[in-house]
Structure 1
Amino acid sequence: MDHAIHQTAQGLRITASVTGEKQGELLQELGKCAGGTCSCPTPQYDKLQSIEVSATAAGVAVDVKVKPGETIDVADIERCLEHTGRQIGA
């Protein structure tokens, strides 16, 4: 699964390229992350204010808003994306 992580004024924007049925599966898995129920091995959830997941023409976009005063470990987010990609076989 190809993906990119970009810093934003409020946190991170993650884009992942997937097609077909994998898009739906990725939306479902990342939706679990937004709800705090995914299986990603990370302590980053405590630093987040919100997670918004949406479908795009090329795959999926995730906007992560960080709580004031917190910083996100991007390498940890990379590990989570790799974990999620393995979960859906992408």
Structure 2
Amino acid sequence: MLFAVICTDKPGHLNVRMETRPAHVEWLNGLNAAGTLKIGGPFLDEDGKPCGSMLLIAADDLGAAKAVAAQDPYAGAGLFADVEIKPYNWIFNNPEA
């Protein structure tokens, strides 16, 4: 099953994002290699700077998706003001369909 992980950064925390980015990218590379990560990238503010994240991940259920999201180094660094995880049905342009 697929889940969208929608994360909103805390205001004024761009420095936390940039300092934690290498560990975050390494974590994403591991998810990608395992086939868990389907899509990932940052949301951008009006100045073109990252202000949140969106991941599309494969997990058995909502609990497993929450466990994956909790391992994000950004979450561990306290970057996010909010994390929302929703089941997702990828209909259009799904390369696995």
Q: TM-score, normalized by length of structure 1?
A: 0.47
Task: Look at both structures and tell me which one has the larger radius of gyration over its CA atoms.
Answer: 2
Greater relative contact order (CA < 8 Å, ≥ 6 in sequence): 2
